[in-house]
Homo-oligomer: A and B are copies of this chain.
Amino acid sequence: MNVFEAIKERRSCRNYLNQVVEEEKIRAILEAGQWAPSPMNLQPWSFYVVKNQEIKTRLKTACQESLQEVFKLSGWKWVDKYQVDFLTDAPVIIVIAGDPKKTGADQFISAPGLGYAYACSAAVQNMLLAAHTLGLATLWFTLCDPGKVRALIELPATMDIISMIVLGYPSKDPGQSKRKAFDETVTFID
């Protein structure tokens, strides 16, 4: 599968099979994350690969609590109905943490600098593309109180929770997606 196919065919998946993901595939995906660019090549990311069912169950509870908070604050009806069973159905959750000290020279331009978070996001995107290439499905998930995720994986205080990737084999086709028209997104300054 070439790069353009992977980029355009990747979808967010919320339905997973109870099927183990091969170790060599997990490793290939994590290595793809490691090869993201970062400020001064500081590689500010740490990846926590959660397969423990008890930790995933506690993660699901934490996310359900966060979603109820979001529902109260937003009033968005879809949030009240949003099911996060994929957090226990999927065999793997990768938590991406970032080190805010590894943000490069950005810290002196617009302090405190988000270069580390941008780099972690590039690592996430690499992993989503790598997973898709290997026939796996993913969801880039952030709807959870970072403090609760931090406690569950025992993240050092010096690191920030950036995002989670839900990873597994899909149990149904995630369907199609749409993008805005090209001209709505792009401005040429010739």
Q: Which residues of A contact B (CB under 8 A)?
A: 1-4, 6-8, 10, 12, 27-28, 30-32, 34-37, 39, 41, 43, 45-52, 55, 66, 69-70, 73-74, 76, 79, 104-106, 108-110, 114-115, 117-119, 121-122, 124-126, 128-130, 132-133, 140, 142-146, 153, 162-163, 177-180, 182, 185-190
Contact = CB atoms under 8 A, between A and B. Distances in A.
B142 A39 contact: yes
B3 A6 contact: yes
A111 to B, nearest CB: 9
A138 to B, nearest CB: 9
How many copies are assembled?
2
A129 B128 contact: no
Contact of A189 (B8, B55, B66, B79): B55
A13 to B, nearest CB: 11
Contacts of A188: 49, 51
Contacts of A37: 10, 12, 125, 128, 140
17 contacts: A1-B2, A1-B3, A7-B32, A7-B35, A7-B36, A7-B129, A8-B32, A30-B186, A35-B179, A41-B178, A45-B185, A46-B187, A49-B187, A117-B117, A121-B125, A122-B140, A153-B189
